[in-house]
């Protein structure tokens, strides 16, 4: 921790005693003093020789009462619509649109409709393959199980499809899931999405709605996602985490995990590895 401690001292701060949350994996380094603008980037630069995530926050109020997680490229390792397109042999047409939409270069709803339209006529049995092959991101199970054990409400909210969010919710133990409906008729995709579409603002709406139902402030929520359609909920929550986010999302979010797995959200809340459930 000498590099981080030196960087803190160089910025007029007094470092306390490091508290290892997990040996050689995660550490809390308390400090006192007036925080200079850009201190997180200064510390990241000081630790640039290490594969390390750096985040700053007050020590109080870290453990949250609500978790809202994006699914694609967050709770699961891939983009589910891209996977379906690959199975259908049209991945080269759909994946570039997905990438641009997630970077915020395209209107989310229009891009979703455009991609789904390309699936028209392909067998809906491709969903069975998707369910069989989907990979859960390391740390997701522990994240959901630990927060749920400690009384937090957990929600999976996705711009993807209920045909996948439902099984992922059940697998990981989320309380609820919200997503779009991929329309099917006669065993084939119709090329349409059920209305209303959960678009760019849906996750912020979900955050505010769940907070109202639970009687808590958004400051007591942790949200996580990687794409442009996640940014509003990341910025509105007390702990909004860009998880291996797209560049614009990574730069705009107050918290970011670029290297670690999803247990990083537990470490950010001050959990020790020995406290993990699941």
Least confident of 15-19, 94-98, 141-145, 210-214: 15-19
pLDDT (0 to 100) of residue 191? 97
Mean pLDDT of 135-153: 98
Q: What is the mean pLDDT of residues 127-140?
A: 97
CATH number of 60-278: 3.40.50.1000
Host H or E run for residue 182: strand 182-185
Residue 196 preceded by cis peptide, ω within 30: yes
Rounded Cα gap, residues 199 and 27, in angstroms: 37
Q: Out of 53, 72, 177, 230, which one is annotated catalytic?
A: 72
Residue 35: its pLDDT value, please? Answer: 76
Q: Cβ distance 247 to 258 under 8 Å? A: no
- 70 is known as an active-site residue: yes
Q: Which of 53, 70, 83, 230 is catalytic?
A: 70
Which pLDDT band, with edges at 50, 70 and 90, does 69 fall under? very high
Q: In what order do the strands lie in the sheet with 239-243?
A: 176-180, 153-161, 66-69, 221-225, 239-243, 255-257
Instruction: Report how far residue 207's alpha carbon sits from residue 213's, in angstroms, rounded to the nearest whole number.
Output: 10
Buried b (16+ CB within 10 A) or exposed e, 169-178: beebbbeebb
Q: 198-240, pLDDT tens digit by residue?
A: 887 899 999 999 999 999 999 999 999 999 999 999 999 999 9
Which spans in the chain are helix H?
A: 2-10, 39-46, 80-87, 91-102, 108-117, 126-133, 140-149, 162-172, 202-214, 231-236, 247-252, 264-268
pLDDT at 213: 97
Q: CA 245 → CA 83, 133, 160, 250, distances in Å?
A: 19, 23, 17, 5
- Strand-strand pairing, 188-193 and 221-225: unpaired
128 is catalytic: no
Reply yes or no on whether the pLDDT at 186 is more than 60.
Answer: yes
Q: How confident is the model at residue 32 (pLDDT cuts 50, 70, 90)?
A: confident
Q: What is the pLDDT of residue 162?
A: 97
pLDDT at 1 over 60: no
Query: SS3 for 167?
Result: helix
Average pLDDT over residues 5-23: 87
The model's pTM is 0.94
Residue 39 pLDDT more than 90? no
pLDDT in tens, 88-124: 999 999 999 999 999 989 998 999 999 999 999 999 9
Taking CA atoms, 260 is separated from 25, 94, 242, 257, in Å, by 9, 28, 12, 6
More reliable by pLDDT, 180 or 36: 180
Mean pLDDT across the stretch 252-257?
95
Mean pLDDT check: name the lowest of 40-44, 61-65, 177-181: 40-44
When comparing pLDDT for 278 and 50, which is higher?
A: 50
CA nearest neighbour of 228 among 242, 217, 216? 242
Residues of the chain with CATH 3.40.50.1000: 60-278
Alpha carbon distance 222, 212 (integer Å): 15
């Amino acid at each position: 921790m000498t590099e981080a401690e030196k960087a803190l001292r160089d910025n007029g701060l007094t470092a306390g005693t490091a508290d290892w949350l997990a040996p050689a994996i995660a550490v809390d380094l308390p400090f006192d003093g007036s925080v200079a603008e850009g201190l997180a980037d200064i510390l990241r630069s000081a630790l640039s020789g290490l594969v390390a995530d750096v985040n700053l926050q007050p020590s109080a109020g870290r453990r949250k009462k609500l978790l809202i997680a994006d699914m694609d490229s967050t709770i699961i390792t891939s983009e589910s619509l891209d996977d379906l397109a690959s199975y259908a042999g049209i991945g080269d047409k759909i994946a570039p649109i997905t990438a641009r939409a997630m970077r915020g270069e395209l209107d989310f709803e229009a891009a979703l409709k455009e991609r789904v339209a390309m699936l028209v006529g392909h067998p809906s049995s491709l969903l069975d393959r998707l369910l069989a092959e989907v990979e859960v991101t390391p740390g997701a199970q522990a994240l959901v199980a630990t927060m749920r054990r400690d009384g937090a409400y957990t929600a999976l909210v996705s711009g993807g499809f209920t045909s996948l969010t439902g099984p992922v919710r059940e697998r990981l133990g989320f309380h609820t899931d919200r997503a779009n409906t991929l329309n099917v008729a006669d065993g084939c995709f119709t090329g349409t999405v059920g209305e209303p579409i959960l678009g760019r603002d849906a996750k912020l709406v979900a955050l505010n709605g769940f907070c109202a139902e639970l009687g808590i402030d958004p400051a007591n929520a942790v949200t996580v996602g990687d794409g442009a359609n996640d940014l509003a909920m990341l910025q509105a929550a007390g702990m909004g985490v860009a998880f291996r986010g797209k560049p614009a999302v990574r730069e705009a979010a107050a918290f970011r995990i670029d290297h670690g797995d999803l247990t990083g959200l537990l470490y950010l809340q001050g959990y020790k590895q020995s406290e993990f459930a699941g």
